[in-house]
Amino acid sequence: MTKQKILVTGGAGFIGSNLVKALLRDERVGFVRVLDNLSNGHRHNIEEFLEDDRFEFFEGDIRDYNTVLQACKDIDLVSHQAALGSVPRSIQSPLTTNDVNVSGTLNVFTAVKDLGVKRVVFAASSSTYGDSQASPKREDVTGQPISPYAVTKLVNELYARVYGELYGMKYIGLRYFNVFGPKQDPHGAYAAVIPLFMKAIVENHSPLIHGDGMQSRDFTYVENAVQANLKALFTEREDALNEIYNIACGTKTSVLDLYSMLAEIAGSDLKPEHGPTRAGDVRHSLADISKAKNYLEYHPEYAVSEGLAETFKWYRGEHS
């Protein structure tokens, strides 16, 4: 079998760099190129790959079509992870969020179409479920988006479907549910809850919980998301293509329980402080992952507690 040449957009970011590591270890892969503008990603996330002659770093922005076209040249498969994440940031900066997530993704899909790339796997989001009260969340039952970020991720799915039908583009969209793990940045105004908890414990100060802490999420360790990407990139099932899948564990954990688990792992007796509820946040989010299991043979290998233990080891070493 010919080894595949793969482009990872956003490959210097959190999920992207974990995926690159797995791809370079995969015998089906001959070459990995990363396209990243380093606005959210970091060069230190890809430092370990730079000496590998099967790896290439291409610094550039997905908002520029010619840059994306150049990055897609001679590529077999595209993993599109680049995005401007964070619901609060999208509320503060809707124009930038739209530019990156919608225009940038449209550039990627168009380059895939124009160059005849075999398949694109893209990062979708559980935020697409919006105000839907259904639980667990099933791919075919969504509500209205409740943040600019959610709108952009929904638009990506709509464009993928239209490009599939009009141009024959082959795609798979992965709706991530609250992915966490090593290399997730705890710094900056829009850091996610788990790295913020880790940072607080390592620095020995009380973490902040928005609202009462009873809001729940289907927290997903990054290695589970990486597994899903590999399955999506390499599946040979035609009926698995041009579909959207939930990627999670299928278990719900409240933010308070999450902190309790982490405090126990860390041996910390710090008590959290509570602040106001964040605008645009959904109250509960739990995934039905049966579709991904059936079509992609996705089976999450890490429970939340195992992922937290692995992640805390990394943060303790990285930020102490």
Catalogue the active-site residues.
Answer: 149
Q: Report DSSP state, residue 267.
A: T
Token reading at 267: 């041996």
Other CB atoms within 10 A of residue 239 CB? 8
- The per-residue b/e assignment along 126-164, b for 16 or more CB within 10 angstroms, e otherwise, is bbbbbebeeebbbbeebeebbbbbbbbbbbbbebbbebb
Read off φ and ψ for residue 263, nearest 5 degrees.
-60, -40
| Greatest Cα-to-Cα distance within the chain, rounded to the nearest angstrom | 57
Give one DSSP letter per residue of 79-147, joined into a string: EE------HHHHHH-HHHHHIIIIIHHHHHHHHHHHHT-SEEEEEEEGGGGTT---SSB-TT------S
Q: How far apart are CA 251 and CA 219, in angstroms?
A: 8
